[in-house]
Amino acid sequence: MYKSFYSLAKTPFSKEIHPSDAFQSTDYQGALNALKYLQKSKGIGLLIGDPGAGKTFSLRSFKDSLNPSLYHVIYFPLSTGGVMDFYRGLAYELGEQPKFRKVDLFRQIQQGIERMTTERKITPVFILDEMHMAKDAFLQDLALLFNFQMDSINPFILILAGLPHLKTRLTLNHHRPLTQRVIMKYEIQPLSREEVSGYIDHHMKVAGAKMPIFTETAIEAIAQRSQGWPRVINNITISSLLFGSQLKKELIDEEIIRLAVEESGLQ
Ligand SMILES: Nc1ncnc2c1ncn2[C@@H]1O[C@H](COP(=O)(O)OP(=O)(O)O)[C@@H](O)[C@H]1O
Ligand SMILES: [Mg+2]
C-alpha cells in the first residue's frame, strides 16, 4: 500500500487526527477562540461552515480542552436520531430517568441542568452538530427548552453547528426567539493558498513523512481544485498517494493530482 511505498508511519489526512496534531490555521484558531469566549460567557453560540471546513474537528478540539470535572459535554449530531431520542438522551445524560411526554421531558432537562450547575458545580455543554438538518419545529423547541436563566446568567453552553444555510434560516422571523439569544457566531473560511501548502506539509509530517512528496505544482493544483476546504484536500491527497504509489512515483506532481481527481470522481 502507499503507506509503505512512501515510508509513512501512519495513514495521512485521517479523520481521526488528534486535536493535539491540529494544523493551526487562522480560522481553526479563530473558531477555537470564539468557542473559548462562549465558554467564559456561557449561553448560545453558532458555528457555521461549508462541508469539510473543520467544524466537527474544531468542536472535538474544544471538547478535549475542557476540564471534565467542570464541564459535562453532550455531543449530538442530528444525523443520528429523531428529536425525541435527543430529548430523552439529554435527560438521561443529565442524570434523570427520561419521562415519556415532551413537556415532562423538557421540565426534567431544565431541572437536570439546574441541578448539575448548582449541586455539582458542573456546566453542561450541549453540542448539536449538523443542525442545518433540523426541522423548524425543533429549532423552535430549542428556543423554549433553553429559555431559562438562573441569577440572570445562563447555566449552560449550547453550540449549534451546521452549513451556511443554517445561518440564513435562523434569520427568519419565527426563529427570532432563538437567534436573539445567540451571543457568539463564527463562520469558518477556507484555507488560504499558503495555508493549503502548510496544511499538506503538516499532515504529511504527522504521518511520519521524512521528505516532501508533493511537488510545488501539485500543491498549487490541490489548492485550486479544493478551494481550500480541508476535507476536499484530504480526499485529493489520499487518492493521489494511491495513484502515485501504483505508478511508482516517488514525487507526486500535478499530473497525478489531475489523474486522481478525474479517476476517483472527486470533481
Ligand atoms: N485544523 C485542522 N487540522 C488538521 N486537520 C483538519 C483541520 N481542520 C479540518 N481538518 C481535517 O478536515 C476533515 C474535515 O473536517 P470536519 O471537521 O469533519 O468538517 P465539517 O464538520 O466542517 O464538515 C477532518 O476530518 C480533518 O481530517
Ligand atoms: Mg461535521
Residues 87 and 199 in one domain: no
What CATH number does the domain containing 237 carry? 1.10.8.60
pLDDT bracket for residue 148 (50, 70, 90)? confident
| Residue 258: predicted pLDDT | 96
CA triple 92-131-64, angle to 5 deg: 60
Residues 153 and 246 in one domain: no
Give the global pTM: 0.95
CA–CA gap between residue 144 and residue 142 (Å, rounded)? 5
Whether residue 102 lies inside any domain: the answer is: yes
Residue 105 grid coordinates: 421531558
Residue after which a domain boundary falls, among 188, 206, 233: 188
Residues 78 and 147 in one domain: yes
Residues 120 and 38 in one domain: yes
CA–CA gap between residue 160 and residue 23 (Å, rounded)? 23
Whether residue 15 lies inside any domain: the answer is: no
The ligand 1 atom nearest the CA atom of 53: 22
Structural domain containing residue 221: 2-7+191-263
What CATH number does the domain containing 117 carry? 3.40.50.300
What separation in Å is there between the alpha carbon of 202 and the centre of ligand 2? 21
Q: Work out how many domains the chain is built from and give that number.
A: 2
Residues 182 and 224 in one domain: no
* Helix, strand and coil percent figures for the chain, each rounded to 5: 55, 15, 30
Residues 176 and 242 in one domain: no
Which residues have CB under 6 Å of ligand 1?
A: 15, 17, 22-23, 25, 28, 49, 51-57, 230-231, 234
Whether residue 18 lies inside any domain: the answer is: no
pLDDT digits (tens, 9 = 90+) for 202-224: 999 999 999 999 999 999 999 99
The ligand 1 atom nearest the CA atom of 230: 12
The ligand 1 atom nearest the CA atom of 17: 27
Residue after which a domain boundary falls, among 173, 188, 203: 188
The answer on pLDDT for 125 being more than 90 is yes
Residue 135 grid coordinates: 426541522
Question: Is residue 196 a contact partner of residue 228, using CB atoms and an 8 Å limit?
Answer: yes
pLDDT digits (tens, 9 = 90+) for 29-66: 999 999 999 999 999 999 999 999 999 999 999 999 99
